[in-house]
Amino acid sequence: MTNQPPNPQELQRRLEKAAKPAADAMLGHAYYRGKMATQLKVPVRGLEDFSIWYSPGVAAPCQAIAETPGRVYELTNIGNTIAVISDGSRVLGLGNIGPQASLPVMEGKSLLFKYLGGVDAVPLVLDASDPEDFVETVLRLQPGFGGINLEDIAQPKCFEILDRLREATRIPVWHDDQQGTATVTLAGLMNALKLVDKDKAEIRLALIGAGAAGVAIARLLFAWGVDPAKTIIVDAGGTLGKHRDDLPPFSPAWTLCQTTNPGGVIGGIPEAMADADVVIAYSAPGPGIIQPEWVARMAPDPIVFACANPVPEIWPWEAKAAGAAVVATGRSDFPNQVNNALCFPAIFRGALDVRASTITEEMCFAAAAALADWGTADLDADHILPPLTEMAIYPLQAAAVGLQAQAQGIAQVQLSFDQLLDRAQAMIGAAQAVTDVLMSEGCIPPFPED
């Protein structure tokens, strides 16, 4: 039995609801003039405290760090400070809008890092379209940060930038559009497969989009146990496979051509989706990118992840009416939001707490497993992942990530699971408590009325 499509009045209501976040965003951003500001974390009791926090007292910690560089983690906030860095070349589904136009996104990402992970994040946008300039700039910024979060960088340069920075830096560098999106997608897929009782090694997967997210998802899912030989990937040129001679040799897409689609299926999205158990789409904003009749031609009990922003490739109600057993999108106003904010604040929390030198696939697996396990309690077709407001998920993921980093020998601090959990709960709780106080005292005024 398939779900019935909404009647015209209900469809109009749903479309109006889908458009409301954009209208509210314009209202709120103009009213508050951005989302982030700096806050003190030490007391200022009078004039004498300036002598402690600045000159002349500040010379003592400076000298201590000069003598023993590792003490910078003890005497400054570097161990809890990351940079969120973008050139604005691939934003949200808006494309290349440039550095300044991307700044609201970087501020938003910094807000999520602080509120959901207790991580102090600084939004930085670079006028550096050349990968060489971008990498050099970030390397010069490295001494002031405990980690780097790359954001909204066009492919293929995003792959080069991430690989080069991970090799050259002493601190974790993470590309949220790649690794963060892949991790939360994996967590959602773990639970969706439980609902339809299908084995990861046996599913036929259609992956729509071979950009930063698509390539990272493919890599992580294959490392987890999804079979590349049962996978067909589609980019703007059609299905990937050995028949494609238009791709640069050894590019990420070319590499995927060598391991996926061994049957040589030629075509586009409908051909890739035929008889597939799962379709995961991170492509162009819809609706209409995926047609309901293509969902109807998938295997029984199909899983549809339509995750383009700001509008999914197919409306959820259309996919369900066509027979989808589980439907997920990237939006918070529909069930099953696959949002990388469910994992990236916690993953960085765990990495920072043990001073990990990098963030590995295994750390992503640990975060995804913790997220999926928590979601199992209320698991059904509309609840494959916890909502962003389920605050217990973030400390649990952070502790799992910190333990995994220690197991891999890439952590400089050794802490037990309980110690990691307590620290994460304290840091995240403090960030949220401060926000509550600022709101209750009117320092953060109420959201403006329409």
pLDDT band per the 50, 70, 90 thresholds, residue 301: very high
Query: What's the rounded mean pLDDT across residues 60-69?
Result: 98
Query: What's the rounded mean pLDDT across residues 381-408?
Result: 96
Query: What's the rounded mean pLDDT across residues 270-280?
Result: 98
pLDDT value for 16:
75
Q: Mean pLDDT over all residues of the chain? A: 94
CA–CA separation, 179 and 357 (whole Å) = 16
pLDDT at 130 over 60: yes
Active site residue 41: no
CB atoms within 10 A of CB 433: 10
Residue 112 tokens, joined = 């999520």
pLDDT at 231 over 50: yes
pLDDT band per the 50, 70, 90 thresholds, residue 4: low
Which pLDDT tens digit goes with each residue over 319-344? Answer: 999 999 999 999 888 999 999 999 99
User: What does the DSSP 8-state code read for residue 231?
Assistant: E
pLDDT band per the 50, 70, 90 thresholds, residue 2: very low
pLDDT at 364 over 80: yes
Residue 100 tokens, joined = 């300044």
Residue 105 phi, psi dihedral angles, 5° rounding: -70, -45
Higher pLDDT, 24 or 189: 189
Of all helices (H) and strands (E), which one includes residue 121? Answer: strand 120-125
β partners of residue 123: 84
Which of 104, 128, 179 lies closest to 149, judged by CA?
A: 179
Which pLDDT tens digit goes with each residue over 250-260? Answer: 899 999 999 99
pLDDT value for 5:
63
pLDDT value for 155:
85
Of 17, 20, 41, 54, the catalytic one is: 54
Is-contact 329 304, C-beta < 8 A?
no
CA–CA separation, 192 and 379 (whole Å) = 9
pLDDT at 67 over 70: yes
| DSSP states of 403-429 | HHHHHTT-BSS---HHHHHHHHHHHHH
How far the first Cα of the chain sits from its last, in Å, is 41
pLDDT band per the 50, 70, 90 thresholds, residue 19: confident
Of 109, 114, 157, 320, the catalytic one is: 109
pLDDT value for 403:
98
Whole-model pTM? 0.91
pLDDT at 116 over 60: yes
pLDDT at 376 over 90: no
Query: What's the rounded mean pLDDT across residues 56-76?
Result: 97
Query: What's the rounded mean pLDDT across residues 289-297?
Result: 98
pLDDT value for 3:
53
Percent of residues, the chain, with pLDDT higher than 70: 98
pLDDT value for 15:
73
pLDDT at 21 over 90: no
pLDDT value for 23:
87
CA–CA separation, 26 and 66 (whole Å) = 46
Which of 77, 61, 153 lies closest to 119, judged by CA?
A: 77
Query: Domains, the chain, ranges and CATH?
Result: 47-55+62-175 (3.40.50.10380)
Active site residue 54: yes
pLDDT at 54 over 50: yes
Tell me, rounded to whole angstroms, the distance of Cα 24 from its chain centroid: 23
